[in-house]
Amino acid sequence: MALSIRLSRGGSKKRPYYRIVVADARSPRDGKYVEKIGTYNPLLAKDSPERVKLDADRAKHWLGVGAQPTDRVARFLDAAGVKERAQRNNPKKGEPGDKAKERAAERAEREQAAAEAAAAPAEEAAPETAEA
């Protein structure tokens, strides 16, 4: 049985509250679980100690048995010092899309043309004042 440590949603509409549970990976999100090892309330302030409550000993046990945490739970485990989370690197995430690149290129061309147009009269005016 493949186990995962994941969030199970509770609470009412627009008021989420999550249980951190160990469940069979094939079971539904809010379905049957093996054990509840903590809670997560995203509505509380980020620095609140009540935001994430986690039983670190049970989490270590289930990780030792082979349970795989989801990305969000892995963040909680890393913050609690239970399991080190490998940092992800996605260099393309911050890169602008194709349309934005086209707009930036057009803007740069317009600015360059404006700079050349402004420099051309200044160059023509400079020799005339020198001749006089």
- Taking alpha carbons only, the member of 101, 63, 100, 98 closest to residue 82 is 63
Mean pLDDT across 12-36: 94
Mean pLDDT across 95-109: 93
Q: What is the mean pLDDT of the chain?
A: 89
Give percent of the chain above pLDDT 70. 92
Mean pLDDT across 103-128: 83
For residue 115 the two structure tokens come to 């700079």
pLDDT of 75 reads 93
pLDDT above 90 for 123 = no
pLDDT of 125 reads 61
HSE-CB at 86 with a 13 A cutoff on CA atoms is: 5
Selected residue with higher pLDDT from 118 and 124: 118
HSE-CB at 14 with a 13 A cutoff on CA atoms is: 0
Selected residue with higher pLDDT from 109 and 129: 109
| Block residue for tokens 């023509």 | 124
Tens of pLDDT, residue by residue over 37-56, are: 999 999 999 999 999 999 99
Tens of pLDDT, residue by residue over 53-75, are: 999 999 999 999 999 999 999 99
pLDDT of 89 reads 83
Cβ atoms of residues 59 and 5 within 8 Å = yes
